[in-house]
Amino acid sequence: MSPEAARLGLHPGQKATDAMALVPELITAEADPQADAAALTALADWCVRFSPAVAADTPDGLFLDVTGVDHLWRGEAEMLADFRDRLSVNGLPFRCAVADTPGAAWALAHFGKEGAIAPPGEQAALLAPLPPAALRLETETWAQVERLGIRQVGQLMSIPRGPFARRFGRAALTCLDQALGREAEALTFRRPPNPWFARLAFAEPISAPEDMARVMADVTAKLCARLETEGQGARRFEIAFHRVDGRALPLAIGLSLPGRDPARIAKLFAPRLETVDPGFGIEVVTMMAYAVEPISGRQVRLDRGREATVEEGLAPLVDRLTNRLGEDRVWRAAPVESHVPELSVGRVRPLAKPQETKPWNRETPRPTRLFRRPEPVDGVIALTPDDPPTQFRWRGQLHRVRRAEGPERIGEEWWKGGIEEVQVGHVRDYYRVEDAEGGRFWLFRAGLYDAKDAPKWWLHGIFG
């Protein structure tokens, strides 16, 4: 509700026709809760520049946990002033307050003096003159409170707890307790609060590529120094460039083993840095570390042995490749317990610990190249019902089979699908054949022998 609208006598909850009668030139728009939610989310993301812990209070509120971050602005008052300045510049109507508890802050922001800061432990005095609605009570409870002639939170606070709970319900008491800090309130933060956070703010917005590279290295070094002092390493780092116009541009990299080497991490970010458009300038850079776990410090090797450790050779390579190509493009093949050829190979991350699965059988020949989709072959001459083909044509080339072995019958995994879909005919009879030139192929005949239909043959792989 903007002050201009309030001056014209409009208020939320008013009927559209009434409002039109009051202000004939009023432009109305359909409510769009999804767009509102999206806008609130965007605002929550923007607020991360003030505190990493931001929780959305639908439909129109935000909670910021500023515990331990206000000193960056030299106090809550300066922080709130900066916050208000930036919101006003963006033309957003707002009311805000700072208090010990989310409940008290909500009450002060909605009903108290705009921009109020409750001194620690003294929110009760500030809450007392507010109307009972400030306690975020349920509608029925609130109506009952009104009916009893209670006009101020202070009056509610003076009621003994026992009778209060009996009359207004346990939920109302919880609301009061949460406002006064006697009970904890769980907020759903947009991002889970993360203690591994570093932030750099600049007096002047920066935009030159070399400046951005330098501040990225600086913020990385800052966070990594903290990780190092606490003996931790992280697998995932996220950096966000906060632009003057309020947009935050994130970049993320992952490591295959937890690490904290600032040079290495900055190097992984470096190729992506050019995708960040600084616009009119970047004023704040934040960095977070995720999946933090303890790692032992590295000892400098004195013997210069030939055997290289994973940390110095392979892990940086895997990180470079995964961050450049994408996580799904670098893998190690791992056995999966399935007899269906295309399902028997799983992909694991290259440096993951080996799983305890049954290895593949060396004695059942599998091709060197396995096609993702079997390719149809035609011109097959084979004795029915289950002799290997004597010739087949693939990609326009005729292959005369000189030697063959099979069939190896492979059925579907009937226990995985629905019972209706299971059919006896869902089998493949695989043959390993060798043509006159020595080419070795893996062919299969789909389905069981059927006197009426000619069987369909497919090529599934090549042995070479």
Partner 1 sequence: MSDFRALRAKIAAIEASGRATSESLPFGDEAIDGCLPGGGLPLGRWHEIVGSGLEVETAAAPAAFTALLAAPLARRGEVVWVLRRDDLCAPGLLGLGFPPERLIQVCARDEAEALSVMEDALSTTGVAAVVGEVEACDLTAGRRLQLACEKQGATGFLIRRRPYGGQARRETTGSAAATRWAVASAPSEPPAGEFGLGAPRFRAALERCRGGRTGAWLFEATDAYSWEMTDVAHPLRLVADLGDRQLAPAQPLRLAG
Verify binding: residue 15, partner 1, rule CB under 8 A.
no
Instruction: Give the 3-state secondary structure of residue 137.
Output: coil
Report the nearest approach of partner 1 to the CB of residue 257 (Å): 13
Question: How many residues does this entry show for the chain?
Answer: 464
Report the nearest approach of partner 1 to the CB of residue 314 (Å): 5
Report how far Cα 29 is from the mean position of its chain's Cα atoms.
33
* Beta carbon nearer to partner 1, 44 or 404: 404
Q: Quote the tokens at residue 373.
A: 């989709």
* Beta carbon nearer to partner 1, 12 or 354: 354
Options 81-89, 171-179, 417-425, 432-440: segment touching partner 1 (CB under 8 A)? 432-440
Options 160-168, 191-199, 338-346, 444-452: segment touching partner 1 (CB under 8 A)? 338-346
Residues 383-422: x/- map of binding to partner 1 (CB under 8 A)? ------------x-x----xxxx-----------------
- Residues forming a β-bridge with 442: 432, 461
Identified binder of partner 1 from the candidate list 293, 362, 419, 451, rule CB under 8 A: 362
Verify binding: residue 372, partner 1, rule CB under 8 A.
yes
Identified binder of partner 1 from the candidate list 73, 142, 290, 463, rule CB under 8 A: 463
Q: What is the DSSP string of 139-202?
A: HHHHHHHHHTT--SHHHHHHS-HHHHHHHH-HHHHHHHHHHHTSS-----BSS---S-EEEEEE
Identified binder of partner 1 from the candidate list 13, 162, 297, 438, rule CB under 8 A: 438
Q: What is the DSSP string of 190-232?
A: SS---S-EEEEEEEEEE--HHHHHHHHHHHHHHHHHHHHHTTE
Residue 346's nearest CA partner among 358, 331, 364 is 331
Rounded CA separation 51/193 (Å): 9
Are 414 and 408 in contact, with CB atoms under 8 Å apart? no
Q: Quote the tokens at residue 79.
A: 């922080």
Report the nearest approach of partner 1 to the CB of residue 303 (Å): 15
Report the nearest approach of partner 1 to the CB of residue 272 (Å): 16
* Beta carbon nearer to partner 1, 47 or 330: 330
* Beta carbon nearer to partner 1, 210 or 363: 363
Report the nearest approach of partner 1 to the CB of residue 224 (Å): 23
| Pairing mode of beta strands 232-243, 248-259 | antiparallel
Verify binding: residue 205, partner 1, rule CB under 8 A.
no
| Pairing mode of beta strands 232-243, 116-117 | unpaired
Interaction residues for partner 1, span 254-313 (CB under 8 A): 308-310, 312-313
Binding site for partner 1 (CB under 8 A): 308-310, 312-314, 316-318, 320-321, 325, 329-333, 335, 341, 344-345, 350, 354, 359-372, 395, 397, 402-405, 432, 434, 436-440, 461-464
